[in-house]
Amino acid sequence: MKFKSIIISLLICAIVGALAAAFASSYPDGLEWIAAKMGFEGRAAESNIVNSPMSDYAVPKMGGGTLSTVTAGILGIVFVFSGTIFFCRVFVRRNCRSEAIQKSVG
């Protein structure tokens, strides 16, 4: 995959993410809906053992509006992309033809 097509693909992801954040339905998802109907929604832990920096897809100090969600989404795309590359390089690449991959990532 060429550097240019990676950038174009990530831009498409950013547009998809921004549209998704702007138009997402606020209805509960399937599991939350069933949990509410069956009366076990209250068991859900309010927070993780470790605090997430952008819980509920909102950037701290930006409030809970659409702009905050869009920003969180775009930051998320950058983190997911680089995190996956990192994961693959650390855990998957170890004993395979590494020069070829290094070249392709640039």
Partner 1 sequence: MPDGFLSIPVSAASAAASFGGLAIAIRKVQKKLQDRLIPLMGVLAAFIFAAQMFNFPVAGGTSGHLLGGVLTAIVVGPWAATIVLTCVLIVQCLLFQDGGLIALGANILNMAIIGTWGGWLLYAALKRLLPQRIGMPAAVFLGAWFSVVIAASAAALELGFSGTAQLATVFIAMASVHAIIGVGEGIITLLVVSFLKRVKPELIS
- Segment 46 to 85, residues that bind partner 1, using CB under 8 A: 47-50, 52-57, 69, 72-73, 76-85
Instruction: For residues 103 and 106, give the distance between their C-alpha atoms in angstroms, rounded to a whole number.
Output: 5
Instruction: For residues 61 and 64, give the distance between their C-alpha atoms in angstroms, rounded to a whole number.
Output: 9
Number of Cβ within 10 Å of residue 17's Cβ equals 19
Provide the minimum distance between the beta carbon of 63 and partner 1 in the complex, in angstroms, as a whole number. 16
Provide the minimum distance between the beta carbon of 89 and partner 1 in the complex, in angstroms, as a whole number. 7
Among 34, 63, 65, 66, binds partner 1 (CB under 8 A): 34
Positive or negative torsion for Cα 64, 72, 13, 27: negative
Instruction: For residues 92 and 98, give the distance between their C-alpha atoms in angstroms, rounded to a whole number.
Output: 10
Give the footprint of partner 1 on this chain (CB under 8 A). Answer: 1, 6, 9-10, 12-14, 16-17, 19-21, 23-35, 37-38, 40, 43-45, 47-50, 52-57, 69, 72-73, 76-85, 87-89, 91-97, 100-101, 103-105
